[in-house]
A and B are shown apart, each in its own frame.
Chain A
Amino acid sequence: MKNISKYFFILILTYSLSAKAQQESDTLSFRPTLSLGYDMSGLVLYLLEPEVFMHGALLGYEWRPNWFATLEAGNMSIGVERETHSYEASGVFFRAGLNYNLLQGNPRMKGEEIFLLFRYGFGRLNHEAPRLIINDPYWGSVEGAFEKAPYTAHWAEIGGGLKTRLFWHIYLGWDLRLRLILARQPGSEMNPYYISGFGKNKGNSAVMLHYFVYYKFPFGK
């Protein structure tokens, strides 16, 4: 019985030491990576809704294995000109957060990712309606204008996506995100059509699909 306990203890000790050595070896072989991305979903949105221009860029830094600190920034502009109405908006946004790669420890998929993401977002814009008509058959139609006014919003987002190598150091990837408004500061009685960095302003949540092209800087190779 004593012998069995002794062997069992040695087995656990050997396994612990070997696991620790493997972990240390992984940590030692890890080199931080830096990637720069461009959000192509703005281009697709432009094809679907030519009045809305949205550009976004991303900077990702893998500071420890499978954890990426991510900073995103961009701008938005809207210009609608119709016979009965016109609407203009321009704004900027910032998003900061983390990506966590679920494809850890798979050597065949090195550099590629299936990830979960978490972000905090902030968007600020100015918008105005130089000409508008509210049609009301009972009280009568209202014609007028709405002066330029600011609008800010804060939100949180969660989501997931994937990234795969296309060729050389170029990667492609998409992710789907659910956004939830945390706070808004409307500067007027007019609600914005889009909130920069958030998406269409319909309620307190939005789902957005992003399509990125990345350049991964070949550090540590």
Chain B
Amino acid sequence: MKTIAKLRFIKILALLTGLCGLVSCQDDELCEESTASRLRMGFYLPVVTSGNPTPYTVDSLTVYGVGRPDSLIYDNRKNVRSIEVPLNPTANRTGFVFFFPENITDTLWVDYQTELNFISAECGFAMFFDIEQVGHTNNRISFFQINQNLVTNSLEEHIKILLYPDPDL
């Protein structure tokens, strides 16, 4: 008799566990997810330490999008280790102009495919970008590595920008 009662208890407990699990999947009604997809790039020197390029801090940096010189994304920002810039959602190519110290300028182009994503009822839509190709001038930028092709609303670094060593060093 005791065994049957025990079995029933275990059965009910097991079913309730399932139901609680189902209810715990609840989504909040507020938009708690970012709909901004930013291209994240870090600066490095092409000196490999333990298999990776060495992170580098740029003394000062100004960045704007090609065609928008009046609207600076970074305005003489000091000690910049990494940046995040917006890709144009209505185009398949966006360029950025970089002003490094000593009046050295570079332009970096990113070619991509766009992917429209419905984030949630409250957040609406966000555009994700699938990087296909990157090109740049070679004044301070030496080369680049693509870490992650898909630019979403997550915080991953997508591109490593490798710089020529500082001329003052």
Q: Which residues of A contact B (CB under 8 A)?
A: 41, 44, 48-49, 51, 80, 82, 84-85, 87, 108-109, 112, 129, 132-139, 142, 146, 161-162, 164, 172-174, 176, 189-193, 209, 211
A129 pairs with B22, CB closer than 8 A: no
B125's contact among A41, A44, A134, A138, by CB below 8 Å, is which? A134
Q: How far is the CA of A51 from the CA of B123 in the complex (A)?
A: 13
A48 pairs with B21, CB closer than 8 A: no
Additional A-B contacts beyond A129-B116, A129-B125 (10; CB < 8 A): A44-B23, A49-B27, A82-B122, A85-B124, A134-B89, A139-B88, A174-B22, A189-B113, A193-B120, A209-B25
Q: Which residues of B contact A (CB under 8 A)?
A: 3, 7, 11, 14-15, 18-19, 21-23, 25-27, 35-36, 65, 68, 71, 73, 86, 88-90, 113-118, 120-122, 124-128
* B16 and chain A: residue at smallest CB distance: A174
Q: How far is the CA of A70 from the CA of B121 in the complex (A)?
A: 34
Q: How far is the CA of A172 from the CA of B114 in the complex (A)?
A: 45
Chain A residues closer than 8 Å to B23, beta-carbon distance:
44, 48
Chain B residues closer than 8 Å to A87, beta-carbon distance:
118, 121, 125
B19 pairs with A51, CB closer than 8 A: no
Q: How far is the CA of A109 from the CA of B35 in the complex (A)?
A: 51
* B122 and chain A: residue at smallest CB distance: A82
Chain A residues closer than 8 Å to B3, beta-carbon distance:
108
Chain B residues closer than 8 Å to A172, beta-carbon distance:
15
Chain B residues closer than 8 Å to A137, beta-carbon distance:
86
A-B contact pairs, 25 of them (CB 8 A): A48-B25, A49-B27, A49-B121, A82-B121, A132-B124, A134-B125, A135-B35, A136-B86, A136-B89, A138-B73, A138-B86, A139-B68, A139-B86, A139-B88, A139-B90, A161-B18, A164-B11, A164-B14, A173-B18, A174-B18, A174-B22, A176-B21, A190-B115, A191-B128, A192-B118
